[in-house]
A and B are shown apart, each in its own frame.
Chain A
Amino acid sequence: MAFRKLSLGLAVATLVGGTALPAVAQDSIYVPLFTYRTGPFAGSGTHIADGMHDYLQMLNQRDGGIGGVKLVLEECETGYDTKKGVECYEAVKGKNPVIVNPWSTGITLPLIPRAAVDKIPILSMAYGLSASARGDIFPWVFNPPSTYWDGLSMIVKYIGEKEGGLDKLKGKKIGFLHLDASFGKEPIPLLEELSKSIGFEVKLYPIAAQDMQNQSSQWLNARRDRPDYMIMWGWGSMNGAAIKEAVRSGYPMDKFYSVWWPGEDDARSGGAGAKGFKMLNWHAVGTNFPALQDIVKNVVDKGMSKASKDKVGELLYNRGVYNSLLIAEGIATAQKLTGKKAVTGEDVRRGMENIKLDPARLKELGLEGFTEQLVLSCSDHNGHRAAFMQEWDGTKWVKISDPIEPMTDRVRAQLEAAAKDYAEKNAGWPKRTEACDKAS
């Protein structure tokens, strides 16, 4: 009997659930946020999710949306799992999303070919397929502000400058500690090419995804090889574990560099010994900006955020804010270009291509000095912006360098080859038919 009731209830609930999908009104813009607050990467994902959500929610609260049109925000939990990410994409596709941010390279890859078919632009901010920086081949994919190749060239350049010139790196040994996945392996061809042309030696230390927490064997190798510098390309719990291991094995912290993904929590896990750890970054930390103050006032203090107040302004939180800044700017630019209020995915694609975040515009948005200028165009979907180096002083990140320009000449060749390669291997990869706007 109880069984029958239960199954009847379940059946009814299924029917109700099936029809009760949130209806998206005409005068609103639907922005799905793919987030991961669960799973092995939740430690990083939660802060990013909070930042993304809170900035857009702040625009809703303070300005009533963008250009007077309310944003309908919906989070879809991916757990950093490709399976669930693809499911999320299918779930939001029917509700006319203006843009998707997969927040995982694994989810981005299956979506890239679909973007043009479904007319939904993809924003994979500084991750995903580096080659998608080429707007003429990937009109629907955006990956500002820098590619991994840019990032690597900046770190090598910075190290070179510390040594007193790139040529001084000759004969040095550079260790490359990376996640053994496409993300971590992507910079290797460029690193090898640089090593050949400059003359330093490269030691690779791959960390398999299942061994992220257990890196002792690779650090033993590092101890034997004694690399002069260590560059890390990690994500999730790998970063924290690596910093801990580096401290334990006594690797000099001031020689330890990373791409832009570690957060405060990762550095803190190394304890006092983590002092001196350096990483690339392209936006400020802290809440000392009017827009972030508005987030605190309009969203966090009103209890509409899942973030606690002390997490607002941390590195990964602000990374989420930067992501949403790009979404919002893409929408705002699209509104300006088309004159429409409720823009569609196709409009936002045009908007993204015409993004012009110069200092004046940043000031207008209440984010003066938050980040470097970013200008995207029809052919350049990345910007290849400079990032700066920051150092962990034991409690917080301190900016220690001016923006470092990537070695564009060396990176460009890689990029061109990779994009062409992708289009060639995908026989029938569509030629760009989307017109370019004059403004760009």
Chain B
Amino acid sequence: MLYREAGQYKTNYAADMAIFPLREDRVGIAIIILAAYSLAFLGNSFLLQAVMIPFLVFSLAAIGLNILTGYTGLLSLGTGAFMGVGAYACYKLMTAFPGVNVIVWIFASGFFSAAVGALFGLPSLRIKGFYLAVATLAAQFFLQWCFIRIPWLVNYNVSGALDAPLRTLFGVPVVGATATPQTRYLVVLTIVILLTWIASNLVHGRIGRAWIAIRDMDLAAELMGIRPLQTKLLAFAVSSYYCGVAGALLVFLWYGGAEYDVFNINQSFFILFMVIIGGLGSLIGSFFGAALIFIMPIVLGIVLPAMLSPFGLSVGADVIEHLRFMIVGALIIFFLIVEPHGLARLWQIGKQKLLVWPFPY
């Protein structure tokens, strides 16, 4: 009823090519952003610190991987390591130059990650598909090895771990133990919105079309004048940039200290699953995927005991954990069967149906 195309005329090319051609969509996105910001003042610290911040961080990492795997069709298992590069680079930068604002270093750390990503992306020119996945696996293991073996990366800390020294923005602590969940959330949210906006412009523009052309048929793309070397390496660099920033956010604005083990192969798979469930080649799918894989277990952990307790069943934390695993696993299979193109496709179908509702066509 409220969601109608009727009466909205596109009178110029810009309006026709807009990312959100419908007024309702523009209003919707504004409401979502507004709601996200107001959550900072309405949500409690558990919601912000344990649910929303990690959700946004994982969404950002998923966008990064989606650029590589979803848009350019290059499968990567090195996401965790690229996130790690960002985190370690950010740590080195912020301890070496404590005078510079930490936000600057969070953005700068992504460039280190991008350089490393482009380096490990070189084999993508010769190998494809699963073979490339194995090649990126080498990046995962090599970088993780570096994180353990090079004490310089952690400033020779005896604990071998990254820690978050106190850093402020406009006099308010954003990194370090005294930073409130509210400030952390606002910073993470702003960074994620900004980077998502940039990613959206990238994938909808010339560069994005080149990536998609490479994904769909690289030989044809090459014949049409798209250079595979530059395009693929750019995809690796941009993807790693996003992962790097996500890694820095993960350590300094969420955990507040971490071991090398955070960036292990499981992390890579975790992000890859988000991308696959959310929808390959979709930015909103990255958010959906992160929500399903990360938030769903937390919700289940709260809901399940509450659902079972009226029946007089009190179950232990471990049983809940097993149930979480089983239910999330079943949901993943369910969604993949119902819609193999991920949640983003479901979302799209829903919107199309809504446009013509109550008629089925």
Contact between A82 and B259 (Cβ–Cβ < 8 Å)?
yes
Contact between A20 and B306 (Cβ–Cβ < 8 Å)?
yes
> Which of these, A77, A130, A427, contacts B165 with CB under 8 Å?
A427
Q: Which residue of B lies closest to A94 (CB)?
A: B46
CB distance from B141 to the nearest CB of A (A): 9
Contact between B159 and A114 (Cβ–Cβ < 8 Å)?
no
CA distance A93 to B49 in the complex (A): 11
Any chain A CB within 8 A of the CB of B103?
A: no
**Binary interface profile of B, 163-198, with partner A (CB < 8 Å = 1, else 0)?**
111100000000011100000000000000000000
Q: Count of A-B contacts with CB under 8 A?
A: 139
Contact between B163 and A426 (Cβ–Cβ < 8 Å)?
yes
**Binary interface profile of B, 253-271, with partner A (CB < 8 Å = 1, else 0)?**
0111111111011000000
CA distance A247 to B283 in the complex (A): 54
| Residues on A with beta carbons closer than 8 Å to the beta carbon of B260 | 181-182
Contact between A105 and B259 (Cβ–Cβ < 8 Å)?
yes
CA distance A37 to B318 in the complex (A): 6
CB distance from B308 to the nearest CB of A (A): 11
Contact between B166 and A91 (Cβ–Cβ < 8 Å)?
no
**Binary interface profile of A, 241-256, with partner B (CB < 8 Å = 1, else 0)?**
0000000000000000
| Residues on B with beta carbons closer than 8 Å to the beta carbon of A113 | 163-164, 176-177, 256-257
| Residues on B with beta carbons closer than 8 Å to the beta carbon of A93 | 45-46
> Which of these, B44, B50, B155, B166, contacts A86 with CB under 8 Å?
B50
| Residues on A with beta carbons closer than 8 Å to the beta carbon of B262 | 82-83, 106
CB distance from B39 to the nearest CB of A (A): 14
| Residues on A with beta carbons closer than 8 Å to the beta carbon of B160 | 181-182, 185-186
CA distance A425 to B98 in the complex (A): 11
Contact between B303 and A82 (Cβ–Cβ < 8 Å)?
no
| Residues on A with beta carbons closer than 8 Å to the beta carbon of B156 | 421
Contact between B318 and A38 (Cβ–Cβ < 8 Å)?
yes
CB distance from B188 to the nearest CB of A (A): 15
| Residues on A with beta carbons closer than 8 Å to the beta carbon of B166 | 426-428
CA distance A169 to B317 in the complex (A): 49
Any chain A CB within 8 A of the CB of B17?
A: no
Any chain B CB within 8 A of the CB of A223?
A: no
Contact between A182 and B302 (Cβ–Cβ < 8 Å)?
no
Contact between B321 and A77 (Cβ–Cβ < 8 Å)?
yes
Given contacts A131-B158, A421-B158, contact A428 B259 (CB under 8 A): no
Total count of chain B residues near the partner, CB < 8 A: 49
Given contacts A38-B318, A87-B298, A93-B45, contact A109 B161 (CB under 8 A): yes
Q: Which residue of A lies closest to B325 (CB)?
A: A38
| Residues on A with beta carbons closer than 8 Å to the beta carbon of B159 | 109, 129, 131, 182, 186, 422
CA distance A425 to B166 in the complex (A): 10
Q: Which residue of B lies closest to A128 (CB)?
A: B159
Contact between A209 and B264 (Cβ–Cβ < 8 Å)?
yes
Q: Which residue of B lies closest to A116 (CB)?
A: B177
Any chain A CB within 8 A of the CB of B322?
A: yes
Contact between B98 and A13 (Cβ–Cβ < 8 Å)?
no
CA distance A106 to B159 in the complex (A): 10
Q: Which residue of A lies closest to B164 (CB)?
A: A113
Contact between B148 and A180 (Cβ–Cβ < 8 Å)?
yes
Total count of chain A residues near the partner, CB < 8 A: 52
CB distance from A152 to the nearest CB of B (A): 14
Contact between B257 and A91 (Cβ–Cβ < 8 Å)?
no
CA distance A16 to B264 in the complex (A): 36
**Binary interface profile of B, 27-50, with partner A (CB < 8 Å = 1, else 0)?**
000000000000000001110011
Any chain B CB within 8 A of the CB of A402?
A: no
Q: Which residue of A lies closest to B322 (CB)?
A: A38
CA distance A72 to B159 in the complex (A): 33
Any chain B CB within 8 A of the CB of A290?
A: no
Q: Which residue of B lies closest to A49 (CB)?
A: B318
Contact between A35 and B317 (Cβ–Cβ < 8 Å)?
yes
CB distance from B255 to the nearest CB of A (A): 4
Given contacts A86-B50, A91-B46, contact A17 B302 (CB under 8 A): yes
The listed residue with most B CB atoms (<10 A of its CB), out of A14, A93, A109, A427, is: A109
Contact between B258 and A94 (Cβ–Cβ < 8 Å)?
no
Contact between A91 and B50 (Cβ–Cβ < 8 Å)?
yes
| Residues on A with beta carbons closer than 8 Å to the beta carbon of B150 | none
- Within 210-261 of A, Cβ neighbours of B (below 8 Å) are at 210
| Residues on B with beta carbons closer than 8 Å to the beta carbon of A271 | none
Q: Which residue of B lies closest to A130 (CB)?
A: B158
Any chain B CB within 8 A of the CB of A339?
A: no
- Within 35-64 of A, Cβ neighbours of B (below 8 Å) are at 35, 37-38
Contact between A427 and B259 (Cβ–Cβ < 8 Å)?
no
| Residues on B with beta carbons closer than 8 Å to the beta carbon of A181 | 148, 160, 259-261
Contact between A79 and B321 (Cβ–Cβ < 8 Å)?
yes
| Residues on B with beta carbons closer than 8 Å to the beta carbon of A74 | 317
Contact between A16 and B306 (Cβ–Cβ < 8 Å)?
yes
> Which of these, B148, B158, B164, B302, contacts A189 with CB under 8 Å?
B158
Any chain A CB within 8 A of the CB of B307?
A: yes
> Which of these, A14, A94, A180, A306, contacts B44 with CB under 8 Å?
A94
Any chain A CB within 8 A of the CB of B279?
A: no
CA distance A86 to B46 in the complex (A): 11
Contact between B261 and A109 (Cβ–Cβ < 8 Å)?
no
Any chain A CB within 8 A of the CB of B316?
A: yes
| Residues on A with beta carbons closer than 8 Å to the beta carbon of B45 | 90, 93-94
Any chain B CB within 8 A of the CB of A177?
A: no
| Residues on A with beta carbons closer than 8 Å to the beta carbon of B148 | 180-181, 185
16 additional contacts, CB 8 Å, given A82-B259, A106-B261? A21-B302, A35-B317, A37-B321, A77-B321, A90-B45, A105-B259, A110-B255, A113-B257, A117-B177, A181-B261, A182-B160, A425-B157, A425-B163, A426-B163, A426-B165, A426-B166
B residues with a Cβ closer than 8 A to A are: 44-46, 49-50, 54, 95, 98, 148, 155-161, 163-166, 176-178, 254-262, 264-265, 298-299, 302-303, 305-307, 309, 316-318, 320-322, 325
Listed by A's residue number, 6 A-B pairs whose Cβ atoms lie within 8 Å are A16-B303, A20-B309, A86-B255, A131-B159, A182-B160, A306-B316
Please list the 9 inter-chain residue pairs (A to B) with the smallest Cβ-Cβ separation, ordered nearest first.
Answer: A113-B177, A182-B160, A37-B318, A90-B50, A17-B306, A428-B166, A17-B303, A75-B317, A77-B317
